Structure 1
Amino acid sequence: MRQPPFLAIILTPLLILGLATLLTWVERRLLGLWQDRYGPNRVGPGGMLQAVADGIKMLFKQDWIPPFADKGVFVLAPAIGMMTVLLSFAVIPATSLRSIAGNLNVGLLFILAMMGLGVYAVVLAGWASNSKYALLGGMRAAAQMISYEVFMGLSLMGVVMITGSFSLYDIVAAQSGLWFIVPQCLGFIVFLLAGIAETHRLPFDLPEGENELGAGFHTEYSGMKFGMFFLAEYAGIVLVSALVTTLYLGGWLGPFLPAAVWFVLKTGTLVAFFILLRAALPRPRYDQLMTLGWKVLLPLSLLNIAATGTILMLRAPE
């Protein structure tokens, strides 16, 4: 039986924000494990309360707005980033019965639209800060996100062509015999790389390049406004991981275990992969990042569409 919509609307954002906060501790512990060093281990058992301590500290940090900033836009930018990520989760189905928006027939388009609106958060933050480093970070973020959204959308066309629907429920149901990661391996690779670039995660965190820009588009932010950008990034990791699970790894489908358990296991594995990339790979130059997108990922996504269309046409009945 589905939860009441009002209760789901209240609980889902709280759950996502709680997961994003917990993920900061998980990331530091996994990085410590993979890099053979200690992670957080002082506050609470295994350092589990470190995320709570960081959250409390963030709440009591001075909420400062630079006198040279455009105050209205400066405050609005992190709210846009947070809201677009949280709204995207409304159409992610953890099981066949668990989604706030239900079986929305344009669910995939809705998520892509929310990701597109997320560009405004970083662009407005960089511009409203009236700081050269922040402006350069915002410009980098805009070029990077808009470029990789092109390849992200094209990489999904193979899945849509096979399924014949933009509904995430229909896409999961179509994978009951074979997960789309097999016939859509090219699309999977392009989408995963585009998702990493969308969330500004290493090695694609060029908008926040510390050695060049300080902190990029959020250089001038402090207190909970900085915390909103911080949590939005970690919530974005969960979102992209859940979306890859839904589109390419069969969603909630799997033997023996309950559907929700399968969804959490697949999503959690992808989140760990995101963290492993941070521990393993160096940051490329910005021109290398853009070259990878336009000269490698774009041709691969177009090749995937052409190959998928050819196979579907050959298999179509006379």
Structure 2
Amino acid sequence: MIHVLAADPTLADFGKDPVWISIIKAVGIFVFLMLSVLFGVWFERKLISRMQNRYGPNRAGKFGLLQSVADGVKMGLKEDLFPRTVDKVVYLLAPVIMVIPAFATFAIVPFGPMVNMFGVQTPLQLTDLPVAVLFVLAMGAVSVYGVVLAGWSSRSPYALLGGLRSAAQVVSYEVAMGLSFVAVFLFAGTLSTSEIVASQASGGALELFGMSIPMPSWNVVLLLPSFLIYVVCAFGEAARIPFDLPEGEGELVGGFQTEYSSSLKFALIMMGEYLHTFIASAMAITLFLGGWRAPYPISLWDGANSGYWPFLWFFIKFVLVFCFVVWVRASLPRVRYDQLMALGWKVLIPLNLAWILLVATVRAYRMEGVDQTTVLVIAAVVLVGAFAIWWRFDAVNQRRKEAAKAQVEAEYEELREEPTAGGFPVPPLDLPHYHGVQRKEVPSGSN
């Protein structure tokens, strides 16, 4: 008989589990991730096919459910080839380095509250740390070594360029992603994932003009700019379309994985990419979407956030976020690399810094006991001022673009009227004579 408790875990509740409970949790997370990868591949192919008016996998098993199993077995049984010039040790270790940090990151993801598991009171989470979110960023940075080493050890120019692209991309978007977490830390007052979820239990009330207005509990509402910036950074960190530049087939053949044949090493690389997408989805749920807590109106039920029910709410959110990732892939094209870098350094990081300054100011005023109406008025003035400055700069840039376009059109018209004006003696194709030479008519059928 498994009984349940309705309590939020804290840092003091971790580190007390017997070894066999920790093993059960670790095995459960491993099985959950393996099944998620297995059916995530099928689900993504099926969902994209429906968006594109196709059937998708429909032959292997019912609804094509066994297609991913067949692909996995095929890659596991194929001959493992080694190009002659590769560094074999690094070539073999690179896929492993991509996968292991991804598995380790899920150790700090909260799946539910305190439960009674086989007579032991334990959180529905493997472990937690006072700096758990920083652990996620660290593991994401370590996994990039796998991509870089995969490109370098292949001794191929295309693979090497893909590895270098991945390193530059992760450095750029990890900075913006880390800054998007700062507002969450300021509101929650902690870096622990379990306590961040606990901080989203109740939003409290806002005193405005003498009225008490209930506030939403999830961070996605109060910290919407941080959430939007995190979503963009998550695509860049996980190298998903439209930011999958490390493996751009059009210019890099296959990117860092060009020299990996469809074998077990290739399967590990694909698993690592899916696990990074799952990590991004799980962190979005934990930090911004209430974690394992039930959404409204399910939360009105007294037992909604107790026992093993919260794992169901977490899984539903997990599937919905993954559907959004697939939807973006089916809708947007790949961007250019200069656009990717410009977005990260020139847009996301400055926006993050300005937003953090605003959030920190509001939190400081609230901690000092300043009237909330005054705080909101100050925040509104700052936002309106920032929008006005952006509008001004956008208008100036738009005028510059229009002036540059008009100049290009004027030069084009000049070249149309006089082909040699640009310094290139282009024969006018619409005249029968050029410099007194009669154009010869070539009979049809002649060589």
TM-score range, shorter chain: over 0.9
Structure 1 residue 299 corresponds to structure 2 residue 316: no
258, 266, 270: which one aligns with 1:230: 270
Within-5 A mapping of 1:192-203: 192-203=231-242
Aligned equivalents of 2:97, 2:355: Cα separation in 1: 33
Give the match for residue 38 of structure 1: 55
Give the match for residue 43 of structure 2: 26
259, 266, 287: which one aligns with 2:310: 259
Within-5 A mapping of 1:274-285: 274-285=325-336
Give the match for residue 106 of structure 1: 131
Within-5 A mapping of 1:170-249: 170-177=195-202, 178-222=217-261, 223-249=263-289
Aligned equivalents of 1:133, 1:16: Cα separation in 2: 31
Structure 1 residue 309 corresponds to structure 2 residue 360: yes
Aligned equivalents of 1:51, 1:63: Cα separation in 2: 20
Query: Percent identity among equivalent residues?
Result: 43
Aligned equivalents of 1:176, 1:109: Cα separation in 2: 23
Note the alpha carbon deviations across 1:193-247, whole angstroms, 9 max, x for none: 1111111110110110011111100111121111101011111111111110000
Aligned equivalents of 1:10, 1:269: Cα separation in 2: 25
Aligned equivalents of 1:63, 1:304: Cα separation in 2: 50
Q: Which has the higher helix share?
A: 1
Aligned equivalents of 2:30, 2:249: Cα separation in 1: 30
Aligned equivalents of 1:90, 1:24: Cα separation in 2: 23
CA RMSD between the two structures? 1.2
Aligned equivalents of 2:316, 2:29: Cα separation in 1: 19
Aligned equivalents of 1:98, 1:109: Cα separation in 2: 21
Aligned equivalents of 1:242, 1:76: Cα separation in 2: 26
**Residue 218 of structure 1 contacts residue 226 of structure 1 at CA under 8 Å; is this kept in 2?**
yes
Please state how far the C-alpha of 1:95 moved relative to its aligned partner.
0.7
Q: Which has the higher contact order (CA 8 A, sep 6+)?
A: 1
Q: Which has the higher strand share?
A: 2
AA partner of residue 41 (structure 1): N
Aligned equivalents of 1:14, 1:267: Cα separation in 2: 16
Give the match for residue 273 of structure 1: 324
AA partner of residue 337 (structure 2): Y
- Unpaired runs of 5+ in structure 2? 5-16, 114-122, 203-216, 370-447
Give the match for residue 154 of structure 2: 129
Please state how far the C-alpha of 1:261 moved relative to its aligned partner.
1.2
How many residues are aligned here? 317
**Residue 184 of structure 1 contacts residue 304 of structure 1 at CA under 8 Å; is this kept in 2?**
no
6, 10, 30: which one aligns with 1:13: 30
Aligned equivalents of 1:300, 1:62: Cα separation in 2: 49
Give the match for residue 400 of structure 2: none
Note the alpha carbon deviations across 1:74-98, whole angstroms, 9 max, x for none: 1111101000100000000111221
Aligned equivalents of 2:96, 2:28: Cα separation in 1: 19
Please state how far the C-alpha of 1:307 moved relative to its aligned partner.
1.1
AA partner of residue 364 (structure 2): M
Give the match for residue 83 of structure 2: 66
**Residue 137 of structure 1 contacts residue 207 of structure 1 at CA under 8 Å; is this kept in 2?**
yes
AA partner of residue 144 (structure 2): V
AA partner of residue 314 (structure 1): Y
Aligned structure 1 segments of 4 or more residues deviating by more than 4 angstroms: none
Please state how far the C-alpha of 1:62 moved relative to its aligned partner.
1.4
Please state how far the C-alpha of 1:18 moved relative to its aligned partner.
1.9
Which is worse superposed, 160-169 or 10-19?
10-19
Note the alpha carbon deviations across 1:48-84, whole angstroms, 9 max, x for none: 1101111111111111121201111111111010001
Give the match for residue 191 of structure 2: 166
**Residue 210 of structure 1 contacts residue 216 of structure 1 at CA under 8 Å; is this kept in 2?**
yes
AA partner of residue 248 (structure 2): G
Aligned equivalents of 1:124, 1:304: Cα separation in 2: 36
- Unpaired runs of 5+ in structure 1? none
Give the match for residue 163 of structure 2: 138
**Residue 119 of structure 1 contacts residue 146 of structure 1 at CA under 8 Å; is this kept in 2?**
no
TM-score for the superposition, normalised by structure 1: 0.97
SS of equivalent to 1:64: coil
Please state how far the C-alpha of 1:179 moved relative to its aligned partner.
0.5
Higher Rg = 2
TM-score for the superposition, normalised by structure 2: 0.69
Which is worse superposed, 115-124 or 253-262?
253-262
Structure 1 residue 55 corresponds to structure 2 residue 72: yes
Please state how far the C-alpha of 1:104 moved relative to its aligned partner.
2.1
AA partner of residue 51 (structure 1): S
Give the match for residue 154 of structure 1: 179
Please state how far the C-alpha of 1:100 moved relative to its aligned partner.
1.2
Which is worse superposed, 12-21 or 202-211?
12-21
Aligned equivalents of 1:20, 1:162: Cα separation in 2: 33
AA partner of residue 100 (structure 1): L
Which is worse superposed, 82-91 or 234-243?
234-243
Please state how far the C-alpha of 1:10 moved relative to its aligned partner.
2.6
Give the match for residue 340 of structure 2: 289
